[in-house]
Amino acid sequence: MARRWFLLGLLGLLAVLAACSAPAPAPPPDLRVMTWNVQTHAHEPGEWAPTIAQARPDVVALQEICAGEADELADILLHDWGLTYQSVPGPVRPPTRAEARAPVNAALGPACSTGPDDVQFGLAVLSRLPVSAPAVVTYPPDRRDEQRGYLRVRVTTPAGAAVTVHDTHLGLGGVADAQVRELADDAARATPAVVLGDLNLPAGDPGLAPLREGLTDVDPGGRFPTTPEGAIDHAFLRGLTPVGPPTTPPTSASDHLPLVVDLRVTP
């Protein structure tokens, strides 16, 4: 009997020692961000909502979305999934009537059931965190491509950190270089900051150099591709640290996969 109690006591002591030596669980991230080109017109908010609900990001940067669809998506996430997101539409409207009626831009109005002078297509941010200072900035127009720009917002984490978020969809046909420089210059004005979006440039492309000069690429080697063309959807950080590698949740609700990153504000 004494031996039995001795063994039980020894096992108990070993259990206590094991518990004491186990590493403490990592603290939760300060925020989780997602960037996703949702390919509107081929897909719709009801298709996008499950992917967002399963990942539960705090901030979602969306591209190729109509302004009304951002509001509809937030409504679906609330009523079907119990997730409260604030919708911040960021339609990139051509700056002049002539640009609005240019053939490359005129198609954007009908894509969102609006006219060529009322383009409601472009970007949006959904946020579970408080949002302030939303602004849409257009890049210089280029006849080779639709009007592009970026949506900038500031979100406040539960710990009180104000994080500036840029959401963008860069152009094609050689226009991205100037757009990256303008984006990087604006992002350099804030810390902490995160730049999200479909940059249409693969990891390692020299065109990304202006962003790499002041920010950190979460996937510099392109190990997490979001399209058959590779890792062209990006997250660049300053004053923030990734908590583990990014993820690309599988989905058939777009021709892109979303890119999801957990972040901690750098002390």
What integer best gives the mean pLDDT of the chain? Answer: 90
Among candidate residues 187, 196, 182, the one with its CA nearest the CA of residue 124: 196
Q: What pLDDT is recorded for position 225?
A: 97
Residue 227 lies in a domain: yes
| Domain, as residue range, for 230 | 25-265
Q: Is 210 inside a domain boundary?
A: yes
Does residue 8 carry a pLDDT above 50? Answer: no
| Residue 222 in domain | yes
Per-residue confidence (pLDDT) for residue 21, from 0 to 100: 56
Is 10 domain-assigned? no
- Count of domains observed in the chain: 1
pLDDT of the residue at 4: 54
Confidence of residue 36 (pLDDT cuts 50, 70, 90): very high
Higher pLDDT, 23 or 204: 204
Kindly calculate the radius of gyration of the chain based on its CA atoms and give it in whole angstroms. Answer: 22
What local confidence, expressed as pLDDT, does residue 194 receive? Answer: 98
- Tens-place pLDDT, residues 151-203: 999 999 999 999 999 999 999 877 889 999 999 999 999 999 999 999 999 99
If one compares 178 and 2, the residue with the highest pLDDT of the two is: 178
Q: Any idea what the CATH number is for the domain that residue 250 is in?
A: 3.60.10.10
Q: Is residue 160 part of a domain?
A: yes
The dihedral sign for the CA sequence 233, 238, 239, 242? positive
